[in-house]
Chain A
Amino acid sequence: MGNYITFPDLLIWLPLLAAAFSFISKDERGAKNSAIIFSLLILGVSVATLFFTNDTQYLSYNHVNYIWLKYMGANYYVGLDGTGRLLTLLTAIGFPLIFISTSNSKYENPSRFYGLMMLTQAGLMGVFMAMDALTFYFFWELALIPVYFLCSIWGGEKRIQATFKFFVYTFAGSLLMLIGIIYVYLHTQGRTFGDGTTSAHSFAMSAFYTVQLSASEQNWLFILFFIAFAIKMPIFPFHTWQPEAYNQSPTSVTMVLSGIMVKMGLFGAMRWLIPVFPEASAHFKQLIVILSVIGIVYASCIAMMQDNIKKLVAYSSIAHIGLMSAAIFSMNQISVQGAMMQMFNHGINIIGMWVVIDIIERRTGVKKISELSGLAHSAPVLTILFIVIALANIALPLTNAFAGEFLMFSGLYNFSHWMAAVAGIGIILSAVYTLNMIQKVFYGSVNSLTTDVKDVSWNEKLVLIIIVGIIFFVGIYPQPLIELTKEAVNNMVVSVQ
């Protein structure tokens, strides 16, 4: 296998192929089916990667390295490591779930819709596997462009402004990161390629990790990179694009954005920020943890006040991401491990949340909490499944998020007692607004909107049951996730000490 075709190849080319199939298919069914079939295939490949983790034995299966721009020292290098496996797995699980759960939605121009979705998947896969700075930057932007079109074409009323704001924010951020990449690149050692040619500098990740920079250079380079990642995550005060973008996007795209795409920022910080600028990271970590914690409390407070159910989830997502970013920048083994797990769990849970919200919105046509009431009477199955997901979202024991949040909090506690205490308020608040929402939407008396809401259809039920299954499995037995990423976490933590 390894010499001919590799896992990273499959994970990038299959989505592209699927996109091509979707684009050329004439009717909705063809586009949808090719997207679903290919995304299941990709899921299969992604699961298979979990069994070939031993790099001494399977190195050539997991890495693809071609010479790309010889004179500049840029390779097309994609490879799988622990973090990459985890996040490609999340991407691979996310897409089929999204497709199946929303397969009842009708889109104008379905072939374009599914084609763009698959392009997004290819971009995301590339981001999580890139091991060369220029490759990373290309995929980073590549994931953004199709999403921009998805939101702007199929979104809500104010979609054009909302998505444009989102685009400009992230575009500006990534251009700043580009300058950072260029600066680091110009200070790297030369590179020798397989065919004997050399270049003066190198874009390789290993070259970036060993680059020698003075403390002041590191500090402002750190800021350039950090802005790009902070906008993508998003953490306070770079989050203002997010609620409107989530609210206006079509729900399936919101799932991609909130479940998977925000992980790009966290992932970027773990792979391209902290190890490249260890001293600057140590210098700024206090500040970033404080910002994250402010974000947690602030977003939770706003979430409590929300009447729009989509915005409520959007703000709760800001709070969760804030916790993960605080954990990452606490930079100790436990907290980073927890954040790593939580990146996966949060992705699964929030996709589950959106699936339910999408169902409610499609059945009743409203997204205001105050107008909904008594859904439990007409849709009992939906209610039960949703409550499980919502409890996972507030990290109750036995659910997947508990393990992650527990680790994150103990790590954060080691970093600073006060920060952990303040962040803890966020958890309490999240229980408040989530339970409050459940109570208002699902219980109480039935009103005219909710009397004849149909319960979940088979495809929605399937998706929700799978999500609930993952929630319980990881909640009870989180060890595989820890094993998968232990080495990557170790490397990162060691690099900063």
Chain B
Amino acid sequence: MNAIILSAICGVIMMFCGAFIKNKSLHKYIAIAGLIAIIAANILESASGNSFFQFDIHDMLRMNSFNLFFITIAFGSTLIYFLLSGSEIEKVGEHVGEYFALIFFILCGIGLVATFNTLLMLFIGIEIISIPLYILTGSDKRNLKSNEAALKYFLMGAFSTGIMLMGIAFIYGGNPNASFYIDQIQVGMGNMPIMIAVGLLFLLISMSFKVSAAPFHFWTPDVYDGAPTVFTSFMSTIVKVAGFFAFIRLFEYAFGQMQDQWQRLIVVITIATLLIGNITAVFQQSVKRMLAYSSIAQAGFMLLALFALNDKAKEGLLLYSAAYCLATIGLFGILTKMEDYTIDGFNGLAKEQPLLGFAATVFLLSLTGVPLTAGFQSKFFMLMAAVQNGQQFWLVIAAVLFAAISAYYYFRVIQAIYFKDAAQKVINDISITMRFKVMLTIIVALIIIIGIYPEIIIGWMYR
């Protein structure tokens, strides 16, 4: 509760800052301070179980240690994102305060989708996330690609919202309890009623759209490519894992008991996502676009949690959220400093900026899933969850073969960084501040710590 309300308040404060404070970099510091306060309040809430704000929410939101912890991970990643790329946000345009305000509203939405207990809250949360994202995507007003991306995203997003509402309506109509609460959807024995089935299908489609799972991924590369890089970093990581969290929460609580009826659909979506994400990423020349496809590919791995839906899957989801966010935010942070976004633009990075080269290599290894990095642990848990589920074993084999393919495009960047020589200046030196380097080092350290000792993240589940 703390996190949701405080981030909404912070969003409002940032809007006023935008109006009254002229100093650009002050916005960033206010935002960072606010976010730290929110995270502290959230940790306090998960430790004590009591929120600062006590009012009757009619059980429409449910806080427990699991989803509060997820909020901590998501908000913590955002903090890292602010610290690493905050100064890039300032460069996007004039309305710095408003960008931060929008991000805080998105965080509020993330709080809602992580804790919702009714379909209505889910819907509101998803919308609170989506609408600011449309604006952020188009925030580079003079850039045609950015405008195109925003329009595309908006149209597609609006469409999927419609589908989601329709799904909710069907479920409400087909539910004898006539309730929006996700734990009160009654399906009876045997095959599910047709209304529920249609509703489930619509929800599945719209959520797949939000997390860019194939075949509903078509917006992703264009939007991620067109948006200002610093915002792509935010929406391809934190927003995406929040979408996954909601996806899995919805299907676990609302439709968990009839998993055998929809599991095959998930198998199809997972395979399609892995296939399209990985195969298409291989052919990309731009690192930014490659990361867009890689985010689809990683989504395929995260879908294994939805396929498995057991304890290991939940642990895996937390680990995956942390690992994927850290590595991708770090990589985008480096990408924003590059002169040239193509893979050849990375040639010789290690010679010019050894620390940046090393950090980028660790991030890429983590995304590939090499041991000693957080990415390995997250994949490991996902695979374990899927194997434990016991169904469709071939899906697991296919997933690791795709992981091996992913090595191809991630390693192309590593090859450029270490084994090739630069044709021209790789990086804009002036923008590499000491703080940027320290933050990169911290992210690398976190990735390796989680990689060696993942119980730092998942240990609380057993306490």
Contacts and interface: CB of A to CB of B under 8 A. Distances in A.
Contact of A141 (B371, B388, B408): B371
Interface in B363-383: 365, 368-372, 376, 380, 383
B383 A179 contact: yes
A235 to B, nearest CB: 20
A138 B371 contact: yes
Contact of A175 (B388, B403, B415): B403
Contact of B407 (A137, A167, A186): A167
Interface in A156-202: 159-160, 164, 167-168, 171-172, 175-176, 178-179, 182-183, 185-186
B388 A179 contact: no
Contacts of B459: 70-71
Contacts of B369: 175
Contacts of A182: 380, 383-384, 387
A287 interface: no
Interface string B440-463: 000000000000011100110110
Contacts of B384: 182, 185-186
Interface in B253-277: none
Q: A interface, by DSSP: helix, strand, loop or mixed?
A: helix
A175 B404 CA distance: 8
A94 B388 CA distance: 42
B458 A71 contact: yes
Contact size range, B: 20 to 34
A145 B372 CA distance: 11
A108 to B, nearest CB: 10
B16 interface: no
A142 interface: yes
Interface in B393-419: 396-397, 400-401, 403-404, 407-408, 411, 415, 418-419
B404 A145 contact: no
Contacts of B401: 172, 175
Contacts of B370: 141, 145, 171
Given A179-B383, A186-B387, A70 B400 contact: no
A69 interface: yes
Contact of A178 (B388, B400, B408): B400
Contact size range, A: 20 to 34
B419 A69 contact: no
Given A70-B455, A152-B419, A179-B387, A167 B411 contact: yes
A176 B400 contact: yes
Contacts of B372: 138, 141-142
Contact of B365 (A145, A172, A183, A186): A145
Interface in A135-149: 137-138, 141-142, 145, 149
Contact of A171 (B380, B387, B396, B404): B404
Nearest to B396: A179
Nearest to A173: B404
A153 interface: yes
A144 B212 CA distance: 33
A176 B418 contact: no
Given A145-B365, A160-B419, A167-B407, A176 B371 contact: no
Interface of A: 68-71, 137-138, 141-142, 145, 149, 152-153, 159-160, 164, 167-168, 171-172, 175-176, 178-179, 182-183, 185-186
7 contacts: A71-B462, A160-B419, A171-B368, A175-B400, A176-B400, A178-B380, A182-B380
